[in-house]
Each structure stands twice: as structure tokens, then as C-alpha cells.
Amino acid sequence: MAPGVVCRWSAENVDLGEVIAQAERMRSGESRTATRAAVVNLVVVTAEPETAQRARSAVGGLGAHHPGRIIIVLADPDGPDRIDATIELQETDLPERHLWWEVIDLRVGGGAARHLSSVVEPLLVHDLPVAAWHMGEIPSASGLVATGAHVILGGDRPSDPDQSSLEATAALTRLRHVTDLEWLATEPWRRALALLFDPPSARRILPRIAGARVAGPPWRACLLGGWLTDRLGLAPGSVQLEAVSSETIVELAADDVLVRAASAPLGRVEARIDDERAVTVGGAERGTAALLAAALGRGGTDPAFVGALGAAARVER
């Protein structure tokens, strides 16, 4: 067994009832040497085996922060009617305590894959909140699982943002509590600028800002551009976007000052006004697992995200 795995059960072409019974047995059957803590049900739905694999490695680091039940569903609606399942009870070693949590891996084919909610719902731990993570494609309303679940997007997006993906995301925010990992990844830049402009004296510059430049990975740059357009009330098109795979840089230009937020050593973002005021914040190099952990702690759809999406979609148009 892999390190951290306390026990494992696996079956092919199995009845879902058996999976449920087995999950319950593993949850309550082991002698109580560790705290079986649970704060969340996390469901990952994907059609791509590679994405499922990436999800598995991202959730590996989650146990300490958000122990709970993790259900990874690899759906193949066009395949034969069958369910294969693996359940692992995993342990996180923390100083002075051990926590246990479960990962349920399901490969669902045929009709059940077209009715995933019916597979997922009975496996959820009662009374705990549910988050559904769609790492790749943005789901349509009918592709959502688990009624009322918090929808987490991103982490393995197959394509760059365009008007239809931005509008599909905006549509989801009207249905569900949505958190986007790419949006969370931009937080250090947004926070650095928010802190930079926290003193009222610094804010006097803002009305003079006429344009901006954002360079960075496509989704991040697009969302930051939308955010600046929305928050500063800029005309569509006044933010210049540059898709680059390297570091993310935000520049705001007024007649006589330059504001710049860019990566600094030790995973930090430094924002400064000309060469005078500077602030730095951490968290610029969070990986998918850390962003996912942050997403699970979110209370509701971020209104700034909704504003940024709307502005970005208008720019795309």
C-alpha cells in the first residue's frame, strides 16, 4: 500500500450498494486510534483519466486542512454499463495527532455516467458540506452533481478563456456558489494592490489611471484584466493583456506615476507606486492543492469575481 494508506478495498463491476456499505464499514470499523475527522465531501468529476490522476495527487495534500470524504468519479457515458470502485482510508500525520479520511475512486460507465448525481449522493457523508470540483471543462447546468454543492472550477483547464467559457462561468455563478482556482491564484496581486491603496492618500492617484497592462498565464491575465476594468471603471479595451507562461505582472499607468505589482523572491508579490511606497504579500506560488484548500474555505461566490468575469466577457466580445 502507498504511504499514508491505512487500508484499501477494490472491486470491479460492483453494485453501488456494496460500495456504500464498504465505505461505511471502513469509516466506522477500524479501531479508533486516530481522529476520524471530516469537514467536507469533495467530489471530482471528469471524463479524462489524466485529469483524474492529477486530481488524486492534488487531493493528497488536502487531508490535513480539510479532512473528509473525497470521491473521484471518472465518467464514461459511452462505455459499458458498470462501476469499478477503490476505497482508501488515508492517514495524515500531524504533530501529536493522526487524522483519517477517505478517497473513493469510481469509474462509472454507461447509463449511470449520465446520472452521476444518483451515484454521488448516496456516498456523501451526511450533514457535511459538499464541494464539486470540475478541474477541466466548465460543466453545463445539467452536468452539475450533488444538489446545492459548492462548485470549484479550474486547475486543469484545456483551453484559453474565450467569450463562451467566460459566459458559461458567469452563468454558473448565477446557479451555485462558485470558486475559481485561477481567480484565487490572482489573489496575491489583488491583495497587494488593495494594501497599496489602503492609505487614503494613495487612493488619490486612482481616478487618474487611464490604462493598464497585465501579463501572465491566459486565465489569470484575463481575470485580472477584467477585475481592473471593473474595479476602476475603465473603458473596455483599456487594459492590454499579454498571455505569457511565466510570471504575472500588473501595471497601472497614470499621467505621472507607474504602479506595478509583480513577483518577488520567496513566493511573494510586491506592489509599488513608482519607487516609493511598497507592500509585499505572500502566496504567489501556491500549487493546485493549496488553491483547492483555500477554495474549500470560501463562504460564497466572490462578488469581485463576478464583476471581473462580466468585464472580461465584454472585452472578449
Partner 1 sequence: MTTGEPPPNPFAIGLEMARRAPPVVLVVFGASGDLTSRKLLPSLAAVARRQQLTDSFAVVGVARSELSDEDFRKLAADAVPDAGPEWERAVSGFRYVQGEYGEPATFDRLRQVLEEVDHDRGTQGNRVYYLATVPDQFATVACALGEHGLSRPRKGCFVRLVVEKPYGRDPQSAAALDRAVHTSFDEDQVYRIDHYLGKETVQNVLALRFANAIFEPVWNRRYVDHVQLTVAESIGVGHRGGFYETAGALRDIVQNHVMQVLGLTLLEPPATVDAQGIRDEKVKALRAVEVLSPDEVSTSVVRGQYDRGWVEGQEVAGYRQEEGVAPDSHTETFVAMRLAVDNWRWAGVPIYVRTGKRLPKRVTEVAMAFHRVPHLPFASSLARDLDANSIVVRVQPDEGITMCFGAKVPGPEFRVRTVSMDFSYGASFMEETPDAYERLLLDAMVGDPTLFIRADEVEQSWRIVAPILEAWEEGAAPLARYESGTWGPREANRLIESTGRRWRRP
210 binds partner 1 (CB under 8 A): no
Binds partner 1 by CB under 8 A, chosen from 281, 284, 290, 292: 281
Stretch that binds partner 1, among 23-31, 79-87, 129-137, 192-200 (CB under 8 A): 192-200
Query: x/- binding map, residues 22-51, to partner 1, per CB under 8 A?
Result: -------------x-x-x------------
Give the CA angle between residues 119, 121, 123 to the nearest 5°: 80
Q: Which residue(s) pair with 46 in the sheet?
A: 74
Cβ neighbours of residue 103 under 8 Å, at least 6 residues apart?
A: 56, 59, 70, 71, 72, 87, 88, 90
Cβ neighbours of residue 296 under 8 Å, at least 6 residues apart?
A: 40, 42, 62, 65, 66, 131, 150, 152
Nearest distance, CB of residue 291 and partner 1, angstroms:
15
Binds partner 1 by CB under 8 A, chosen from 7, 16, 232, 253: 232
Which three-class secondary structure state does DSSP give residue 143?
Answer: helix
180 binds partner 1 (CB under 8 A): no
Alpha carbons 203 and 10: distance in angstroms, whole number: 59
101 binds partner 1 (CB under 8 A): no
What b/e string do you get for 108-119 counting C-beta neighbours within 10 Å, with b at 16 or more?
Answer: bbeebbeebeeb
Tell me how many residues contact partner 1 (CB under 8 A): 37
Stretch that binds partner 1, among 41-49, 137-145, 196-204, 309-317 (CB under 8 A): 196-204
> Which positions touch partner 1 (CB under 8 A)?
35, 37, 39, 64-67, 94, 97, 99, 187, 190-191, 193-195, 197-201, 203-204, 206-208, 231-232, 277, 279-281, 302-305, 307
